[in-house]
Structure 1
Amino acid sequence: MEGFSYEIVKNPRIFKMNTLPAHSDHIAYRSDEELDKKETSLRKSLNGLWKFFYAKSYKYAITGFEKKEYSCDDWDDISVPAHIQMEGYDRPQYVNVEYPWDGREEIAPPELPERFNPVASYVKEFVLPKQWEGERIFISFQGVESAFALWLNGEFIGYSEDSFTPSEFELTPSIQKENKLAVQVFKWSSSSWLEDQDFFRFSGIFRDVYLYTIPRAHIYDIKIEPTLDDKLKKATLDVEMKFEGLPWQANYVLSYKGKPVLMGSVDTQKVKRFRVNFDNPFLWSAEKPNLYDLKIQLFDDKNKVMEVIQEKVGFRKFVLDGGIMKLNGKRIVFKGVNRHEFSCDTGRVVAKEDVEKDVWIMKQNNINGIRTSHYPNGEHLYRLCDEQGLYMIAENNMESHGLWERTVQRNFDRSQILPGDNEEYLPMMLDRVNSAYQKDKNHPSILIWSCGNESFGGSVIQRMADRFRELDPHRLVHYEGIFWDRRYPNSSDMESQMYTSVANIEKFLREHKEKPLICCEYAHAMGNSNGALFKYTDLSDREPRYQGGFIWDFVDQTIRKKNRYGEEFMAYGGDFLDRPSDYNFSANGIVDGQRRAYAKMQEVKFNYQNITATFRNDQDSLFMKVKNKHLFTWTSEYDCTVTIECEGELLRKIVCPVDVAPLGEVEVLLPLTLPKEAGEYTLNAYFTLKEDRAWARRGYEVAFGQGVFVVDGQKKKEEKKKKLTLIRGTYNVGIRGENFEVLFSYLQGGLVSYRYGGREMLE
């Protein structure tokens, strides 16, 4: 294997070879017609069936398979993208803090397991499109876990690590009409010590793979910087382009909802950037995700279109002002969730439909933010967050929890911590920062870059934070690990903590007034949880420097499986005979693996809602106080309905228009009175959508309030007591009433059956 050695996989100083520079995630088209159809002739997907050979370690891997004359016809077929563990090779393994090889092989960084470290060899044959002959040809791997080497027609092309950002290579020197592409993927590499996230440990080519070509002049990177003046009235748009080849001219149009706002042209022979200004822009926020379209056309010297791109642009101002994070001049509160990329059928290979479903569920339940725990995600999520309105903490791929937790607990040598102060890992980590930034820099939904997760502290992380700031002065930087290592406080612009009680948050803020505080993880959602969420949301109402948090976490990491009887169930860690394992700790979601909401989602929706309604009865007059927590939305943008009920029976329903300004509150007199008859009465307020949204239809309830009032006295009509029948058995006691039966067991020590209307309600 000329040009490649297995020793590279073990060497933390070598994490890429011959890869192209990281760049923005835009899509290039040959023409306006292609742009309109969202179909580009500049790309060719290589997704589908590939030839595949599995080896449990490198010494069992086939050598020479990359050569063109080596036949792989008798190899297995495997789908790409996919994890090999979800395709019948190796097995899914879930561990949280501990490394997956812990107790199996005694190794230390940067050593790798040798007895068991699966190697996946892939082969894909393809024919070069005829219209691409003579053009420059490239390949993009959007995600490969955790390291891979690449050959084309027997020639070594390159090598790359970092599982969660794209790796791209030029193939032109080795391309032929008929081609053999060979890839060798290593489950663990030296960088795996820094990929110890709380998730199933998979490997393989798990995101899209595609070939692409470029015109004679091509925008390979575009940096879009929309900024606002302090009064939010004047907008400036700075655009910087990097080219392959040199176009004659670039024309641009900035439009809003299809109507041009401004347009112009740039002599790209002389300049590679342009700036435009205009007044009174529509601002972007999660509440009102206003987006402009920026279209750029490249022309040659004969005025022929060579390439067209179009990107979304959001104008918003996110700053740290007086120790408070503010968006467009208003104090922001994050009502967020942590989200792993996960599907119960395909692992971290997540279909666009599932990503969309996640975003719809979040919007339906008043969630306004995502932390991409704990790595860059596929591109579709960022585009949806831009378009539908979700704030993002975009997290870099870094976690070494298993190295430092034992250090804290057992007083190990802190020099073992990675990246810590270890200069050997600095280039790798700065490259990850750059890759994450370059890929996603143009997304307005990203407010904060995160250096990574649970990797203690150190000078390397401080330099990662500094690099983010050098690259992007318009966003803040987050890192929670300074809680454990206070030597480098500038690693984070905000204090970030996990699972801290409300009392301790208040105590910390009294004693430390330098930064705002968020809980990057809180309200752990495992099992029957989230009952105390209101304590945190109440705190964000009364403490300005507490600015919310992100629930751990959104979706259960569980996998659809069948038991020995062929019955389907959702499996968690340990169900695959994976050892070591952290078992059911993989299931912490507010939705299950099939994205069905748990009951605790009701707590989330209610406590995260942006409108509250409370009621009072004063001398037979009923009042409703409406508080609007929206930053930019009037309550009049929703329909409001109020009902009065007696012990569940609807007595009256009225439409009650309420017009409360953002962050305001109003009390209104209701045209209702409580009846004189004794009973428990509830007043209910429902705020619903006035029009369809992408994520819900008109009439969908976004906020709810209730007041309970008891009227004492004698009821007008006493209900006739229903007769109950007691049935005493030897081992059971039964009670039968109208339309129901219950059964208590002496042997089981409690209720074992409850039938209502003939239907068993207990399973």
Structure 2
Amino acid sequence: MTTSGAGASARVTFDPRRTADPLCVSENKRPAHSDHRWFRDADEALSGVSSFEQSLSGTWKLHWARNADGVIDGWQQPGVDTSGWDDVRVPGHLQLQGYGTPQYTNVQYPWDGHEQVAPGQVPTRYNPVASYVTTFAPDRPLEAGERLGITFHGAESAVAVWLNGAYVGYATDSFTPSEFDLTEHVTDGENVLAAQVFTWTSGSWLEDQDFFRFSGLFRDVVLTRRPRVHLEDIRVTTAVSADLAEATVTVRVRLGGPGSVRATLEGVGALEEQADGSLAVAVRDPHLWSAEDPHLHDLVVEVLDDDGELLEHVPLAVGLRRFAIEDGLLRINGQRVVLKGVNRHEFGLNGRVVTREETEADIRILKAAGVNAVRTSHYPNNTYFYELCDRYGLYVIDEMNLETHGLWDAVANGDVTLDEAVPGDRPEWLPALLDRAASMLERDKNHPSVVMWSCGNESFGGSNLLAVADWFREHDDRPIHYEGVHWDPRHPETTDVVSQMYTPAAAVEAFLAEHRDKPFVLCEYAHAMGNSFGAVAKYVDLAYREPLLQGLFVWDFADQAVRTTDRHGRTYDGYGGDFGEAPHDGDFCGNGVVLLDRTPTPKLAELKYLYQPFRLSVTRDELTVENRHLFTGSAAYDVVVTVAREGAVLAEAPLATDVGPGGTTAYPLPVAVPDVPGEYTVDVSIRLRSATAWAPAGHEVASEQDVFRVGAPVGRPPAPRPRLVNGIHNVGVHGPRFSALFSKLHGGLVSYRYAGRELLRSSPRPCFWHAPTANERGWGMGAEDGQWLLASRYAALRPGTPAPEVSEQAEGVAVTYRYALPTVPASGCDVTYLVDGEGRVDVTMIVRPGDGLPDLPELGLLLEVPADLHRLEWYGDGPHEAYADRRGSVRLGRWSAEVTELLTPYLRPQEAGNRTGVRWAAVTDDRGWGMRVSASEADGLELSALPWTPFEIENAAHPVDLPPVQKTVLRPAWRRRGVGGDDSWGARTHPEHLVPAGEELTFRFSFEGVL
């Protein structure tokens, strides 16, 4: 049974057993309506404070029970003494205030394995019930005909309400407003408001999102007054002509009480009443809204009673835009659009309790990174999110609060039949779905930023979802999105776009070669878990090559985690299992391009590079600019071109460009690359000329670099011959400022002293291993590649070979160790150190993998040096970490950093901090003493400089668990495996970004002391 509207039910109280009835969607909930605000007059509206609103957010009293049996009888009555109850914050998650524990699960229902619960039923042994009580007095008596309502903007997962002991109503759906009428029960004096929040209800089966499981009143609670004539609902639509020369704004209203409305569009004039009762006005040469230019028109609607008295002043921001599928493509104002998007959970340091200011900060980050679209995964957000997207300019896929992934798995695994799928074709679930659809659409319909409605996420298919899609179409003209049709294709008409998740770019291209009927959207792609986001350029390139690929939404924006402390009082960001909960899904919540506290990761820089609105191509003489904007020319931006030699800037000059939207033009460079031998970089930076709401003037929106080599590299002058001492147990190689000892007993370089001080903390050793990334853990790297871990830790001198082999050569003394690597079949590795008289050590590593062994995670040498060498300076790619498949955003230059800051603090420690294209690097102490590493190849080597070995990193569950800093660990490498990024549960790094398998590999580099 689904009821709504004041007085629709004769019930005098609520029976908690009804929470297990899927048909009990709501009782006495007021109809969903637009999210407009109303004020007394224009001056009050200007202040932003409405006299019709009274916030009840703050401190409430709470009684918390493990289940319904623990609820106090009659707790909601005014006479109950709550002075001994706990104080809690509203809005707030109960689990973050000491009641129960946070629980992160991806697909698993949180009660799975604890109780045998059929879909629609609820757990009874542990299903906490929160009984909230607060008191309030209306800020003034109700006027004649005025009504008082209360809105719970977010109650997880359902709320029942009483006022002064009288039952008011009940509502499900955690993420849209639940509004009730209080008029019949309110007094002018103190009132006792009681709200009971149930952790899991039948509706929880529809809320199996990939997120932390919380409960409580987590959004604002607000009292609202409705005058005797009230604007109950307003619908604003805009129609833009085919030639964009005219737009029509139409307003339809639903009034409560006898009265009338008048409306004015700023700069245009009054809207005129139409034959159907609507109000409309035509706008000539309209300034259209888009993500590039989010221009808003101010619309004012005034509500009058029959005597002409102004009762309500309602301001709205209207965006004139046309978004639709036209000629088979998604178009904004007639232009094909690529939705360069992210998925975003509403989540921060306080879980899903987020403020407008925090939301605005997120949107600034997204805009500054070139993102133009957001999917509200997987539920409607706070209403101010949409207001901010209107103002800043983001296209929004507004997603209904629906996910039944755990039950979908049951269908896929054959545990239940297709007929048993939820919501599937089962009629008892349709009322809840339609209620959720209406609550979202009616609230958000007037936002120009909302360009598509989504029926939910990962809930398989069926006739119920088709009914939801048809309901959307009946009430609005925006396209409909639903990805589940990909898995249950019985009703393809459910969705207006083809939507898939994590399909490789090549597979998308192959699909579109045969299917040309609908635009294609990757509603999730580039699963950015941990150190990831590799080879994403393939998708973006395809979107600009294939017209039907029009949506790319990264999973996801920010890590989900709960900040907590360990037993030693150290703060860290906790993930699944850190709170003693089960079941859980570990660190699978760490998928953000930013961290929990919005610290950017290198993935964000790569995202910005891939999503930038200009594609640039640089030659030695010319710059080609491709403008990917739809409505903005390049002349609106400043372009600066810089030429540098090996990191030192030689010249910088502006360049005037005028490339129209969608155009491409080549320009001569305003700077010259010299003819003097050397390595030169040409950098192009496109910057904001003026400040915007999301970034200051000078913010870089696009960049590119190319590298040019002139002449042959200058060779190193010959060094004097070193002194060789071939002792009983050690081979010594000495020069004026250095000495090196190679052990015959222990099989390696055991000492390298420079300027009188020891530079080595242990013997260098071949390294073929790194701490598995999240993606590598996902496809089982530990089991598959574990032999390379053994080879890195337990290499032994090859029996029957000299240890070491020593020879004097023209360049110096060569010392070779031949190692047997404990792989099956066996592998071998030879390491030769060629030492000259100045202390330079040329290293040659030759690896011969056994037949059939997998590719190496990396090929390098591990060098441990004193922790005092804490400063890294390098000439190579920077400033942030990079990998073979994630290098677009780095630039060749001279950079410096503290070694202790080079391990990106992903939620779970893993391989991170790598630098690519390193020509040379030096780790030094405060006085400049230390070690320099140099590449033998012109394109450089890869380098990791961290305070920990790969083995220590792999053993740590959180960054706080890493051991105290005792050393600096250098890992120069010929190549490291790319990080991958298609998904995190099976997708491999693309072949071109692997260390080649099944062949002999050689790595050469050098190191030497510096002072």
Q: Could you tell me how far 1:741 is from its partner in structure 2?
A: 5.7
- Relative contact order, higher structure (CA 8 A, sep 6+): 1
Query: Does residue 128 of structure 2 align to residue 129 of structure 1?
Result: no
Letter in 2 for 1:758: D
CA spacing shift, 1:681–1:15, aligned 2, 3 Å = same
- Cα deviations across residues 67-125 of structure 1 (Å, max 9, x unaligned)? 11111111111110001001110100000001101111111111111110000000011
CA spacing shift, 1:691–1:341, aligned 2, 3 Å = same
Query: Does residue 18 of structure 2 align to residue 8 of structure 1?
Result: yes
The structure 1 residue matched to 2:98, chosen from 88, 91, 105, is 88
Counterpart position of 1:347 = 351
Q: Could you tell me how far 1:738 is from its partner in structure 2?
A: 13
Letter in 2 for 1:29: F
Counterpart position of 1:758 = 925
Counterpart position of 1:458 = 462
Counterpart position of 1:250 = 261
Q: Could you tell me how far 1:300 is from its partner in structure 2?
A: 3.3
Counterpart position of 2:85 = 75
CA spacing shift, 1:718–1:66, aligned 2, 3 Å = same
Q: 1:160-309, aligned counterparts within 5 Å?
A: 160-176=171-187, 177-247=189-259, 249-255=260-266, 260-264=267-271, 272-309=277-314
Tell me the percent identity. 43
Q: CA RMSD in A?
A: 2.3
**SS of residue paired to 1:575:** coil
Letter in 2 for 1:160: A
Counterpart position of 2:519 = 516
**SS of residue paired to 1:465:** helix
Q: 1:296-695, aligned counterparts within 5 Å?
A: 296-344=301-349, 346-410=350-414, 412-473=416-477, 475-617=478-620, 622-695=621-694
Q: Could you tell me how far 1:47 is from its partner in structure 2?
A: 0.4
Letter in 1 for 2:322: K
Instruction: Give the Cα separation in 1 of the matches to 2:759 and 2:684.
Output: 36
Q: Could you tell me how far 1:323 is from its partner in structure 2?
A: 2.1
- Cα deviations across residues 456-493 of structure 1 (Å, max 9, x unaligned)? 000000010011111102x1000000010010001110
- Cα deviations across residues 473-527 of structure 1 (Å, max 9, x unaligned)? 2x10000000100100011101100000011101111121111111000000001
Counterpart position of 1:712 = 711
CA spacing shift, 1:334–1:733, aligned 2, 3 Å = farther
**SS of residue paired to 1:583:** coil
Q: Could you tell me how far 1:437 is from its partner in structure 2?
A: 0.2
Instruction: Give the Cα separation in 1 of the matches to 2:759 and 2:696.
Output: 40
Q: Could you tell me how far 1:560 is from its partner in structure 2?
A: 1.0
The structure 2 residue matched to 1:98, chosen from 108, 114, 128, is 108
Which structure has the bigger radius of gyration?
2
CA spacing shift, 1:740–1:66, aligned 2, 3 Å = farther
Instruction: Give the Cα separation in 2 of the matches to 1:357 and 1:514.
Output: 38
Bigger shift: 726-735 or 423-432?
726-735
Q: Could you tell me how far 1:30 is from its partner in structure 2?
A: 0.9
Query: Does residue 71 of structure 2 align to residue 61 of structure 1?
Result: yes
TM-score by length of 2: 0.72
- Cα deviations across residues 697-734 of structure 1 (Å, max 9, x unaligned)? 10011100111111123659989999984665999655
Instruction: Give the Cα separation in 2 of the matches to 1:738 and 1:612.
Output: 52
Count of residues in correspondence between the two structures: 750
State whether residues 655 and 670 of structure 2, in contact with CA within 8 Å, keep that contact through their aligned partners in structure 1. no
- Cα deviations across residues 117-167 of structure 1 (Å, max 9, x unaligned)? 000000011112234365321111101000111101111000000000001
State whether residues 228 and 256 of structure 2, in contact with CA within 8 Å, keep that contact through their aligned partners in structure 1. yes
Letter in 1 for 2:646: E
Instruction: Give the Cα separation in 1 of the matches to 2:574 and 2:672.
Output: 53
Letter in 2 for 1:669: P
Q: Could you tell me how far 1:7 is from its partner in structure 2?
A: 1.9
Instruction: Give the Cα separation in 2 of the matches to 1:647 and 1:738.
Output: 31
Letter in 1 for 2:409: E
- Cα deviations across residues 653-692 of structure 1 (Å, max 9, x unaligned)? 0010111000100001123332111111111100001011
CA spacing shift, 1:595–1:742, aligned 2, 3 Å = farther
Letter in 1 for 2:147: R
Q: Could you tell me how far 1:547 is from its partner in structure 2?
A: 1.1
State whether residues 270 and 281 of structure 2, in contact with CA within 8 Å, keep that contact through their aligned partners in structure 1. no
State whether residues 521 and 552 of structure 1, in contact with CA within 8 Å, keep that contact through their aligned partners in structure 2. yes
List alignment gaps of at least 5 residues for structure 1.
none
Instruction: Give the Cα separation in 1 of the matches to 2:159 and 2:351.
Output: 20
Q: Could you tell me how far 1:548 is from its partner in structure 2?
A: 3.0
**SS of residue paired to 1:320:** strand
Instruction: Give the Cα separation in 2 of the matches to 1:587 and 1:495.
Output: 27
CA spacing shift, 1:727–1:167, aligned 2, 3 Å = farther
State whether residues 160 and 197 of structure 2, in contact with CA within 8 Å, keep that contact through their aligned partners in structure 1. yes
Instruction: Give the Cα separation in 1 of the matches to 2:282 and 2:718.
Output: 73
**SS of residue paired to 2:184:** helix
Instruction: Give the Cα separation in 1 of the matches to 2:680 and 2:341.
Output: 34
Instruction: Give the Cα separation in 2 of the matches to 1:732 and 1:714.
Output: 33
Letter in 2 for 1:194: L
**SS of residue paired to 1:59:** helix
CA spacing shift, 1:609–1:724, aligned 2, 3 Å = farther
**SS of residue paired to 2:222:** strand
Instruction: Give the Cα separation in 1 of the matches to 2:583 and 2:756.
Output: 53
Instruction: Give the Cα separation in 1 of the matches to 2:570 and 2:413.
Output: 42
Q: Could you tell me how far 1:272 is from its partner in structure 2?
A: 4.7
